Amino acid sequence: MERHYYSVPYALVHQKVDVHLMAEAMEVLHLGVRVASHVRSYEPGKATSLTEHMPKLHQKYVGRTPTRLMEEAQQVGPSIGQLVEAILAAKRHPEMGYRSCLGILRLAKTYPAERMEAAARRALRTRAYYVFPIPVGPVRNRC
């Protein structure tokens, strides 16, 4: 399939499926039932996905971009904008920080901008947004 990736309903992740390729389309069958079809693409390394194939939680993030999140945060205040930018930059994939950023923007609707800005400055100063990797190895008894 020219190394192009196509979505299937999320419930079928890691399930065995059959793929039928045609010149202009492709279809995915699971246990003989068609579960997805896409217009065929020949762009290597790209992905074609349908929103309805995503879990409901992921569907609400469709259309969100890191730039848009940073712009929304900047409207609340400059420190909030910096915090959102730092959260997104700290993740391997910016999408992994969306929930945290959306939570901050939701809090900004409840709390005054001055309080949000002060909290953001503190988080930036202490790097409270950064999740440090947990060391892997044997656990020693500290008693």
132 is a domain residue: no
**Domain count of the fold of the chain:** 2
12 belongs to a structural domain: yes
Overall pTM surpassing 0.85 (yes/no): no
Q: Phi and psi for 39 in degrees, rounded to 5?
A: -65, 135
11 and 31 belong to one structural domain = yes
Mean pLDDT of the chain: 86
User: Do residue 42 and residue 87 come from a single domain?
Assistant: no
Indicate the burial class of 9 (C-beta count within 10 angstroms; 0-12, 13-18, 19 or more). Answer: middle
Tell me if 45 sits within 8 A of 25, measured CB to CB. Answer: no
Q: Return the beta strands (E) in 2-143 as ranges.
A: 5-6, 18-21, 25-30, 33-39, 47-48
Domain boundary among 17, 36, 56: 56
Residue 92 belongs to some domain of the structure: yes
Q: Per-residue b/e over 69-93, b at no fewer than 16 CB within 10 Å?
A: bbebbeebbebbbbbbbbbbeebee
Residue 83 lies in a domain: yes
Q: Is residue 136 part of a domain?
A: no
Q: What percent of the chain has pLDDT over 90?
A: 56
- Residue 77 and residue 122 share a domain: yes
Q: Check pLDDT > 60 for residue 115.
A: yes
**53 pLDDT exceeds 60?**
yes
Does residue 50 share a domain with residue 11? yes
Q: What is the pLDDT of residues 74-112, one digit of tens each?
A: 999 999 999 999 999 988 778 788 889 999 999 999 999
Q: Which comes out higher in pLDDT, residue 4 or 140?
A: 4
* Under 8 Å between Cβ of 99 and 60: no
3-state DSSP assignment of residue 6: strand
> Domain span at residue 101?
66-126
